[in-house]
Amino acid sequence: MCLVVMSKVEKEKILKECHDNPGLEGDVDLQVLLVGGKLMKVKSSSWKKVRMYKLHDDYVTVWQESHRIFKRKQNFSIDDVDSVRKGRQSEGLQKHTEAHVEDLCFSIFFKGRRRNLDLVATSVEEARQWVNGLEKILSNMKKLNRQQTSEHWIFNCMRKADKNNDNMMTLKELKHFLRQINIEVDDAYAKLLFTKCDTSNSGTLEGAEIKHFYDLLTHREEIDVIYKKHATTGGQMSADDLLNFLLNEQREVATLEDALRLIEKYELDDSAKHMNHMTKDGFLMYMQQEEGSIFNPAHKKVFQDMSQPINHYFISSSHNTYLMEDQLKGPSSTEAYIKALMKSCRCVELDCWDGAQGEPVIYHGHTLTSKVLFKDVIKAIKEYAFKTSEYPVILSLENHCTLEQQKLMAKHMISILGSALLTSPLEDQMPTAFPSPQELKGRFIIKGKRLNKLDAVFSGTSPGVEEDCVSEEDEAAETNSNGQKAKAKKSKIKLAKQLSDLVIYCKSVHFSGFEHAKDTQAFYEMSSFKESKAVNLAETAAKAFIQHNMTKLSRIYPAGSRTASSNYNPVPLWNAGCQIVALNFQTPSKEMDLNQGRFRSNGLSGYVLKPEFQRDPGSEFNPMTLTKGPWIKRQAFHIMVISAQQLPKLNKDKPKSIVDPLVKVEIYGVPRDTCSKETRSIENNGFNPMWNETFQFDIQVPELAMLRFLVEDYDATSQNDLIGHYCLPLTSLQNGYRHVPLLTKRGDVIPSAGLFVHLMLLDAK
């Protein structure tokens, strides 16, 4: 048990168990962090101040000195840290420090929109120790299983409730703690619970009494019921009982060897393990692991065929990737590219304009958004493109530069990206179809205008610099700085041969209709569609759109009127077989939840193979009419929403504010499958609410269906607030009793929270 209210010796022993790393506390780097030290905090060229930083002995909280009148001491939790980067890798450090301090610098990047922390150490060794120490803690926290994460969260709340830090809990502190963990109980019940645990009658809980209190608090009645039903061997689960559970409840393809392996892996009681039995504690441990998750573990790896042409895949794609916020006056940043790429985005947009000192810049043209150097963006892309996924990245160029700066763009991409940049077809002769993601691993593909046909690469024809019309999909020209629609530009721009020659498989062309494209467009010539046009085509000409996308790529982008960087629904475009459905990654929304869900499977590769009926030229599939065909695989989807665990408080400034949770279960897919149902709300309980409500959905095209859970705080007078969500393809779920992780609105995992459900997806009779 991980009890912060125990003695220091016990606490250290427990911390080792919770971190699942017996050597963590003796680590030399962490000892330096525990002692603390002075680091220079950098905010600007003129604001560089020395502050004290120190890791608390809880190994999860960092104290930072502040000279603000009302914020003398500030803490941040390792839970809130996204990454730690050594060197001058942040824009702030690059701009406000000199190159000679490179090895003294490091940055702490946070989840969400919190500003990163740029720091300069007094020595190279100190910088190394801070970076290594923080990375070790981050790594260990990622290794915690669900039960350990739950305990970690609960005892952090206990620590906050223990106001005088005496490692004991009074009745008043217990009430405060219960509110911290999102439970509102009346005074009589709190006193009853306290008295039940205070076996020493001392008026405080300590040691074993707090352990008893914890056990009462975290008791899972629903797990008891399931275990009791299947534990038919002397009150315990034998290997045969567990196999029966796996086969009949979880609907898994399992053998007795699989059951024995689970007992060996998760059973904590040696005597039970010796008899090949699983106790209730072992069963709970197993249920909270990857094997008990809703998401099929096999889909966490690349499991699809990656040898098909890239137009046969949905490709995770970003719009205006450089923006951190809105499209009119928000900051542009290389960090926005890093965040998107680390989320396995495989198509990023670069809106390129002439910059000062002859260096091209990226920003949202005709607006007040800030500018970032083109070469800095290419450097960031090169560094982070393949950290999450090794599959190809498409650089979608929106080119507004003069000839000289276009030549510099080409030079920067060639010199920075090197051999990873695709500068000629993979084949020795003119290709007739796209290469595969497998063949393009680790490569960058440029999307943009090209002066001639691709076969010129082999014929040796070489045009000079020509005039070329600005593409009609020029998104920057759609709005001006007031958010009003700007007049379409009629002028021509000259296109530099050096830039043109880098466009191989993604040549931008104007769309003049499906018949025209079929008759005249080469496979590598692709069009971009504004969302309104694309949605209209998906509704009125879905079959033609799907056929078009069997041989070509289509890119969809948000309307220029979305000045707040809002998003459109990507599902109807996926239904029409569109591959590059570009969204504003910087904007948390239901649409981004769906995008995250779509690309959660297949190893977070950013590429998901389209169903065969969207790839087969003979297919008659139309999502709007759903005629009979192989796409119809009717399934009955039964789901029971049983309970939730440890939902976060939404209003931390109001200690007495407790959530009233409800759960929405949503299906997104072809129009006939799209549906939503919801539970009742549970009043004043975010810690362990229980619903036990059952729903049924009839699914026609499961291969295109997405399942989304939405947990909200019910409000009778205003819009419900989001507590957490989770989305995944219907084809990636596991049947049976499953735990569902929950994410924040920005897509980060809420470490302690989850839903517990029972799922059954069965072929309809």
pLDDT tens digits along 278-312: 999 899 989 988 899 999 999 999 999 999 999 99
| Catalytic residue chosen out of the listed positions 96, 319, 366, 725 | 319
Smallest CA-to-CA distance from 754 within 720, 723, 718, 714 is with 723
| C-alpha to C-alpha distance for 368 and 309, rounded to whole angstroms | 40
Given a contact cutoff of 8 angstroms between Cβ atoms, the answer to whether 573 and 581 are in contact is: yes
| Catalytic residue chosen out of the listed positions 299, 364, 548, 739 | 364
Class of domain 635-763: mainly beta
Residue, of 39 and 490, whose pLDDT is higher: 39
Q: What is the CATH number of domain 311-453+502-614?
A: 3.20.20.190
- String of b and e for 120-141 (b: at least 16 CB within 10 Å)? bbeeeebbbbbbbbbbbbeebb
Query: Is 165 labeled as ligand-binding?
Result: no
Percent of the chain, pLDDT > 90? Answer: 64
**Mean pLDDT (the chain, rounded):** 88
Query: Is 375 labeled as ligand-binding?
Result: no
Query: Is 527 labeled as ligand-binding?
Result: no
> Mean pLDDT, to the nearest integer, of 196-201?
89
In the three-class reduction of DSSP (H, G, I as helix; E, B as strand; rest coil), residue 154 is classed as helix
Query: Is 181 labeled as ligand-binding?
Result: no
Residue 552 has pLDDT above 90, yes or no: yes
Helices and strands, counts by H and E, the chain: 23, 30
Given a contact cutoff of 8 angstroms between Cβ atoms, the answer to whether 545 and 537 are in contact is: yes
> Mean pLDDT, to the nearest integer, of 380-400?
96
Q: Could you tell me the pLDDT band of residue 655, with boundaries at 50, 70 and 90? A: low
> Mean pLDDT, to the nearest integer, of 250-273?
94
Residue, of 122 and 367, whose pLDDT is higher: 122
Residue 527 has pLDDT above 60, yes or no: yes
277 is catalytic: no
Helix axes 374-384 and 334-342, enclosed angle (nearest 10):
20
Residue 516 has pLDDT above 90, yes or no: yes
Residue 746 has pLDDT above 70, yes or no: yes
Q: Could you tell me the pLDDT band of residue 170, with boundaries at 50, 70 and 90? A: confident
Q: Could you tell me the pLDDT band of residue 25, with boundaries at 50, 70 and 90? A: low
Q: Between the CA of residue 666 and those of 15, 297, 425, 711, what are the distances in Å?
A: 39, 22, 43, 11
Predicted local distance difference test score (pLDDT) of residue 8? 37
Residue 13 has pLDDT above 60, yes or no: no
Number of neighbours of residue 143 by Cβ within 10 angstroms = 10
> Mean pLDDT, to the nearest integer, of 14-21?
39
Smallest CA-to-CA distance from 370 within 406, 407, 326 is with 326
Q: Could you tell me the pLDDT band of residue 468, with boundaries at 50, 70 and 90? A: low
Predicted local distance difference test score (pLDDT) of residue 61? 85
> Mean pLDDT, to the nearest integer, of 43-58?
90
Query: Is 320 labeled as ligand-binding?
Result: yes
| Structure confidence by residue, pLDDT tens digits, 90-113 | 889 988 999 999 999 999 999 877
| C-alpha to C-alpha distance for 346 and 437, rounded to whole angstroms | 11
To the nearest 10°, report the CA torsion of 530, 532, 533, 539. Answer: 140
Q: What is the CATH number of domain 147-217?
A: 1.10.238.10
> Mean pLDDT, to the nearest integer, of 586-595?
93
Predicted local distance difference test score (pLDDT) of residue 751? 80
Class of domain 221-292: mainly alpha
| Structure confidence by residue, pLDDT tens digits, 487-498 | 444 457 789 999
Residue 457 has pLDDT above 70, yes or no: yes
Query: Is 715 labeled as ligand-binding?
Result: yes
> Mean pLDDT, to the nearest integer, of 110-136?
92
**Residues in CB range of 46: below 8 A, 6 or more apart:** none
Least confident of 84-88, 216-220, 230-234, 722-726: 216-220
Predicted local distance difference test score (pLDDT) of residue 21? 42
DSSP strands (E only) in 423-536: 444-448, 466-469, 492-495, 503-508, 525-530
* Domain ranges across the chain: 21-143, 147-217, 221-292, 311-453+502-614, 635-763
Residue entry with tokens 């909200």: 712
Least confident of 33-37, 245-249, 315-319, 614-618: 33-37
516 is catalytic: no
Predicted local distance difference test score (pLDDT) of residue 424? 94
Task: Judge residue 386's burial from the number of C-beta atoms within 10 Å of its C-beta, 0-12 exposed, 13-18 middle, 19 or more buried.
Answer: middle
Query: Is 398 labeled as ligand-binding?
Result: yes
Residue 151 has pLDDT above 90, yes or no: no
| C-alpha to C-alpha distance for 611 and 633, rounded to whole angstroms | 12
| C-alpha to C-alpha distance for 586 and 584, rounded to whole angstroms | 5
Query: Is 281 labeled as ligand-binding?
Result: no
Residue entry with tokens 């003695």: 7
Number of neighbours of residue 362 by Cβ within 10 angstroms = 29
CATH number among 2.30.29.30, 2.40.10.220, 1.10.10.10, 1.20.1440.230, domain 21-143: 2.30.29.30
Q: Could you tell me the pLDDT band of residue 171, with boundaries at 50, 70 and 90? A: confident
Query: Is 714 labeled as ligand-binding?
Result: yes
Smallest CA-to-CA distance from 73 within 104, 99, 48, 36 is with 36
Smallest CA-to-CA distance from 474 within 487, 461, 464 is with 487
Q: Do domains 21-143 and 311-453+502-614 have the same CATH topology?
A: no
DSSP label at residue 432: S
| Structure confidence by residue, pLDDT tens digits, 659-693 | 999 999 999 999 999 999 999 999 988 889 999 99
Q: Could you tell me the pLDDT band of residue 514, with boundaries at 50, 70 and 90? A: very high
Half-sphere exposure in the Cβ direction for 292 (13 Å, CA):
21
Query: Is 555 labeled as ligand-binding?
Result: yes
Smallest CA-to-CA distance from 637 within 601, 681, 669 is with 669
Task: Write down the pTM of the prediction.
Answer: 0.87
Residue entry with tokens 């691709």: 454
| C-alpha to C-alpha distance for 244 and 278, rounded to whole angstroms | 13
> Mean pLDDT, to the nearest integer, of 363-383?
91
Smallest CA-to-CA distance from 667 within 711, 690, 624, 697 is with 697
